[in-house]
Chain A
Amino acid sequence: MKRIDLAIGIGGAAGQGIATPGDILARIFVRRGLHVNAYNAYQSIIRGGHIFLTLRTSDQPVLSHGDKLDVLLPLNQDTMNRHLRLMRAGSAVLFNSDTIKPGAVAEGVQLCPFSVKALAPTIRGDLVQNTIALAALLRLIKVEFEILEEILTLQFRRKGAAAVAENVSVARAGYDHAAAHFTALPFSLPDPAKPLAFFEGNQALAMGGAAAGVRFYCAYPMSPASGVLHWMARHARQLGIMVRQVEDEIGVINMAIGAAHTGCRAMCATSGGGFALMSEALGAAAMMEIPVVCINVQRAGPATGVPTKTEQGDLWQVLGAGQGDYPRIIVAPTSIVDCFKIVPQLFNLVDKFQCPGIILSDLLLSEGRSSIDPAELDFNVPIDRGELIGLNGDGGSVNGGFKRYLVTQSGISPRALPGTPGYAHVVATDEHDEDGVLISDEFTDPHKRQASHEKRMRKMDGVLPLLPGPELHGAADAQVTLLGWGSTEGVIREAMEQLADTGVVANNLQIRWLVPLHGEAIVSILSRCRKVVVVENNYSGQFARYLRAETGFTAAGHIRKYDGEPFMPHHIVDGVKAILEGATKLYVPVHEIQV
């Protein structure tokens, strides 16, 4: 059971400095061993608009950003107007009464005004509001002032002793004001425990790449995937990774393929629009049999869509990317830590099977942040490069006659790296025979075409047994089974807990490996379930349709959300109840907060 469960909302316009108090709070919590989950709702704007950060902490792993706020910290009137009506009894609202006026408020909500003019009469600048608010907030949740003092000292150290003293004194004024005027919330920091780490999904993907031994990373900036590029660029020299920003996504994937062909582990990341440009080259990687990993961080589409909002709307794009049939492995990580772990696993598979691998993340995972036990970040992962000749220049001996595309039972042919003496060969995106000689132009040869095509596709048979099978989470005889894929695992599991509190027993089957799909195993599990409801963040039920296409399985109900914001647990709870009551087969929640 959770002894601590505290959610803080900080909102304002872009440029008002929401990230800094958010980061400070997160750091305070994880250093005391508390778990944290953070989700930042933002718009495609550099200054202005409405940014709203939800930061939730608990002594137990935090599965989602939750349903409710305990503290609201509006940095402007707009945030107050949007969020105040959703604050419930027991919560507190901290605001600068010089510029922000509260509106109608529910009973039991504590209004906590402070005046920047009164508390810091001599200091100019907008950010002083944030310092006072943060200090008052920390007092409200009974965090010792010394912790904040230490953080502010570190933060302003570079600006000199005067800046440190000024900020600490302002913070002190805010802290003391809160002590004198506000009622503290029933929260206290636990005793120092093993500190946790705190990271973003995109960082996790990039670090997973580093662990996998990525030597070449390239990208074209695109929200919400740019975080991977930023981490890679910052650490490129430390880790010996070639990081390039390329002219477009077509160039990105082709450059990655070129580097991969020489023997580098190569990776790139983009969002749906960039992924669309990469489609043809993914087929090319499969045809030339070059392993490469591409990450698609989904955002709400189609077209430019809603660039700063989340969706699981690219499943069919990824399934259908590129002309023709070709072997590829597609995986959707189910949590932020999974983003880290999945990358080395996928690299071993694509190296072994010499085909492209696609990671389907989304904004919720990639820009969401989570605490993590640092012991889980194991960089010492198994590395399997597959049947590779010429790594480290070591080619063995060969008397010519190397067949790059030797037809084998497994479909896997030994791969020689350019530069290896004696193994010169041509890889081709045209259909070719075992020697790499084109059979597409002068004399198309149906028998050779069939043999080459089957050789490549046969590799997929070898992949499936290596993928962990689906596992049902929760009670086997549940009333309802929530079937999800990828990023929704956390929120579904939290909804399960809430459903249990209201007497509804639910379990969860979360699908990670999408291609190849453990179709038989999934259906075998689902056929024993009483009522299956598919939960997904898209309009048309893309996974439900995929599962039906692959297995013939039809779910009893669907909960779908496609307004750009991620599910909150109660959306799923309400949907399950409506479906169980027979009110509907398709439940689409309404997102209450205009963010």
Chain B
Amino acid sequence: MATMVQPERVKVTVKDLKGKVDPDWCPGCGDFGVLAALKQAIVEVGLAPHEVLTVSGIGCSSNLPGYLNTYGMHTLHGRAVAVATGAQLGNHELKIVVTGGDGDGYGIGGNHFVHAMRRNVDLTYIVMNNQVYGLTTGQLSPTSVKGMQTKSTPFGSVENPINPIPLAIAAGATYVARGFTGQQKHLIELIKGGLEHKGFALIDAFSPCVTYNHDNTNEFFKQRTRKLEEMGHDPTNFQAAMEQGCQWGEIIPIGLFWKREDLPTLDQLEPVLSKGGPLAHRPLGVAPEIAQALIKELM
């Protein structure tokens, strides 16, 4: 944060990151694990609370910014990525973390999600994927598996779910990972990797809903998840990343599927940001000679 008056750098602890209130998630909710992992990752990466802007949409998991002592924006349902993109371009020295759920990000926010990835906006996007709508009391989500019975699909869903991993790889995300809240250390490493990655990082985190999803439970994932890192997966291999991303069955891979470091981010590509610091801190006003030039165009 070059233009900031820097206070002396004090070591931030997990305790410093505690928000003003405690989470109101159901006991046993996977989201507790994501919050804990995010705090730990922020500490380990060495970010101060004021350097981070956490942006969320609406849903159980989108309440997360309120439980974290950083700058936060609790925006509208589905709009976190769009808001975060504007914030990232407004102040590209902020570390911007987007948090939310599968319905928020892959459903109502799907358009912003796809376009932010193709633009390679420098965001760390953590999706707490519980494959169900929780806050609206248990309806089908875009990641609910085919056949799932919910309040909105009492006879079982006939639709195929979205698969965010190959979608993200194809759309242009440059860091694509999947974690599981039952594997905390692994999840922390994935989030740290996302925070340190320059570019759009997706961390899809299985965060089981203990209240409304009785199919995809903690136990379900414990039995099936296998770490890519232990499977000899090469995250720079596009073919392998797509193939692993499409696996869903007795083995569900978690870990880093895909990473590219050679692609510039949107803020790096935009000449307006090439010098002069964050846009938000630049003085307003048009220099007299530029004003004259603008008027001359009209003469």
Contact = CB atoms under 8 A, between A and B. Distances in A.
A254 B282 CA distance: 22
A491 interface: no
A212 B293 CA distance: 17
Interface stretch (B63-71, B205-213, B214-222): B63-71
A210 interface: yes
B86 A259 contact: yes
Contacts of B37: none
Interface residues of A, number: 78
Contact of A262 (B7, B91, B271): B91
**Most chain B beta-carbon neighbours within 10 Å: one of A383, A418, A441, A442:** A418
Interface stretch (A162-170, A236-244, A308-316, A540-548): A236-244
Contacts of B285: 213, 379-380, 383
B211 to A, nearest CB: 15
B173 interface: no
B291 A379 contact: yes
Nearest to A394: B5
Given A259-B89, A260-B86, A215 B280 contact: yes
Interface in A241-271: 241-242, 244, 246-248, 250-251, 254-266
A437 B272 contact: no
Nearest to B93: A419
Interface stretch (B46-54, B156-164, B228-236, B248-256): B46-54
Nearest to A258: B86
Interface stretch (A48-56, A91-99, A194-202, A503-511): A194-202
Contacts of A248: 111
A218 interface: yes
B149 to A, nearest CB: 27
B262 interface: no
Contact of B279 (A210, A216, A429): A216
B39 interface: no
A393 B21 CA distance: 28
Interface stretch (A38-46, A81-89, A420-428, A550-558): A420-428
A429 B108 CA distance: 17
B73 A427 contact: yes
B3 interface: yes
Contact of A236 (B54, B272, B282): B272
B11 interface: no
**Most chain A beta-carbon neighbours within 10 Å: one of B4, B7, B70:** B4
A419 B270 contact: no
B264 interface: no
Contact of B50 (A236, A250, A423, A426): A423
Given A207-B294, A393-B5, A435-B20, A258 B82 contact: yes
B299 A374 contact: yes
A340 to B, nearest CB: 11
Contact of A419 (B20, B76, B94): B94
B73 A438 contact: no
B294 A210 contact: yes
B90 A419 contact: no
Given A244-B89, A419-B94, A426-B66, A255 B298 contact: no
B24 interface: yes
A392 B286 contact: no
Interface range, B side: 35 or more
Contact of A215 (B5, B65, B282): B282
Contacts of B6: 421
Contacts of B55: 258
A203 interface: yes
B51 A250 contact: no
B84 A418 contact: no
A250 B82 contact: yes
A284 interface: yes
A377 interface: yes
Contacts of A260: 86, 90
B87 A259 contact: yes
A421 B48 contact: yes
A586 to B, nearest CB: 40
A424 B71 contact: yes
A508 B76 CA distance: 43
Contacts of B58: 429-430
B66 to A, nearest CB: 5
Contacts of B271: 237
Nearest to B294: A207
A251 B112 contact: yes
**Most chain B beta-carbon neighbours within 10 Å: one of A30, A250, A265, A442:** A250
Nearest to B60: A441
A391 B86 contact: no
A251 B78 CA distance: 10
B63 A393 contact: no
Contact of B74 (A216, A239, A427): A427
A278 B20 CA distance: 31
A255 B85 contact: yes
A430 B74 contact: yes
Contacts of A265: 284
A320 to B, nearest CB: 18
A31 interface: yes
A425 B24 contact: no
17 contacts: A215-B280, A215-B282, A236-B272, A247-B112, A247-B114, A254-B75, A254-B83, A264-B90, A265-B284, A377-B294, A379-B285, A380-B291, A393-B5, A417-B91, A418-B71, A424-B72, A426-B20
Given A212-B284, A255-B89, A418-B87, 9 more contacts: A251-B115, A261-B90, A262-B87, A288-B75, A420-B4, A421-B50, A429-B75, A438-B63, A441-B24
The 3 closest A-B pairs by CB, nearest first: A213-B284, A258-B86, A263-B280
Interface of B: 1, 3-7, 19-21, 24, 48-51, 53-55, 58, 63, 65-66, 69-76, 79, 82-91, 93-94, 111-112, 114-115, 270-273, 276, 278-286, 288, 290-291, 293-295, 298-299
